[in-house]
Amino acid sequence: MVQKIKDFVLKDVQSENETKKTAVTLRISALMLCLYFLSLFAVFCAIKDIRSAVICLVCIGCYLVSFYTTYLNHTKFASIFSQALMALWILIFIWEYGWDCGVQHFVFVLLVLNFTVSAGTMGMKIGAAALACAYRIFLYAYTNRYDPVTNISVDTGVLFQIINTLAIFAELTAIMIVFTRDSQEMEYKLVKYNEKLEHMASIDPLTGLYNRWSMRSYLEKIAGKYASGEIGYVSVAIGDIDFFKKTNDTYGHDAGDMVLKELAKVFLEAMEKEGKVCRWGGEEFLFVFQNKNGDQANEVLHDILKRIRGMGIPYQSDWIHVTMTFGLEEYSGEKDMETIIRAADQKLYHGKENGRNQIVY
């Protein structure tokens, strides 16, 4: 039953030119004001003020009509009707009970409705806001000049103020929830989407490793940490798969991709607590070791190379075995990172020229 009521209140409009958000806001506003007048009706019945009780019943009927208009696929009319109705009953209540009844504060609800459910331009909304301000000043001036038709007791005035305060805060809260919920959800989606884009921009899609661009940013941070003394050592290594072209030519590029992905898993596991690794080029990888001097980084690379030598990569009905060659250089801060990388690359080249499947340090 509750779900059916919820679905009915949140029902979308059929017209393509109308917005569900506006219709839902007007419906919730109408229902809350029906509850407001029902509360006042109970108060007036308790004090046996039949005239005021009848006024509340008429207002309830008017807001049921206002609720109904939101299903006519003419939200602009429903919005105008709702705001005009509120302005009218505020005037009637001020005329009937005076300034002390406190209904003039509903002008602020009227102001919020003007900006949230009106379909006019911003200039028109600002003009309507100015009118609302003038309307409230007029009500104040009127009550200073004329006495109310009905003088309410102090106790009734207190109940009026309590019910008004609860109703106004509830209505403003409901309107803000409806109109900020989508914005918050959209903002959350945009944050997640930006994080996704940032992740996609920084990660090699095949291996899941850092790409060259993100590694350069990381290297700048590492160089800054080294210069400030935050870390004591930095070592850089470049590794290249031996005879990778032959692997592609023999088994196909899908097999080559499989090799790259399986090696990336080894690198990520080995470098998890040591630093970062990225796919620097086609079959070339760059390793950056934090707080590791050359000797310590060399030990990690030997463990990686040992694992590569002993692993077989299943592909179709065959096993692919590969080796790698590494060039390792320790960063001292006297030279920039680009120079250190070139030095490591030069050592890699010497390793390739002298038998491959080794670490040159």
Strands 359-360 and 324-331: parallel
Q: How much of the chain, in percent, has pLDDT values that exceed 90?
A: 62
Find the mean pLDDT for residues 114-127. Answer: 83
Q: Which residues in 306-360 belong to E strands, given as ranges? A: 313-315, 318-320, 324-331, 359-360
**Cβ 26 vs Cβ 79: under 8 Å:** yes
Query: What DSSP assignment string belongs to 79-101?
Result: HHHHHHHHHHHHHHHHHHH-GGG
pLDDT for 351 equals 95
Tokens for 15, please give them. 């017209």
pLDDT for 77 equals 87
Task: Measure the CA–CA gap between 280 and 300, rounded to whole angstroms.
Answer: 19
pLDDT digits (tens, 9 = 90+) for 35-68: 999 999 999 999 999 999 999 999 999 999 999 9
pLDDT for 254 equals 92
Q: Which residues are CB-contacts of 150 (< 8 A; sequence separation ≥ 6)?
A: 49, 51, 52, 96, 97
Q: What angle do CA 118, 119, 125 make, to 5 degrees?
A: 60
All structural domains of the chain, each given as residue ranges with its CATH number in brackets, are: 2-192 (no CATH), 212-360 (3.30.70.270)
Strand partners, 326: 239, 359
pLDDT for 186 equals 58
pLDDT for 13 equals 63
Stated pTM of the model? 0.55
Q: Which residue has the tokens 């690379």?
A: 301
pLDDT for 162 equals 93
Confidence of residue 188 (pLDDT cuts 50, 70, 90): low
Query: Residue 11 pLDDT more than 90?
Result: no
**Cβ 244 vs Cβ 357: under 8 Å:** no
Find the mean pLDDT for residues 149-173. Answer: 90
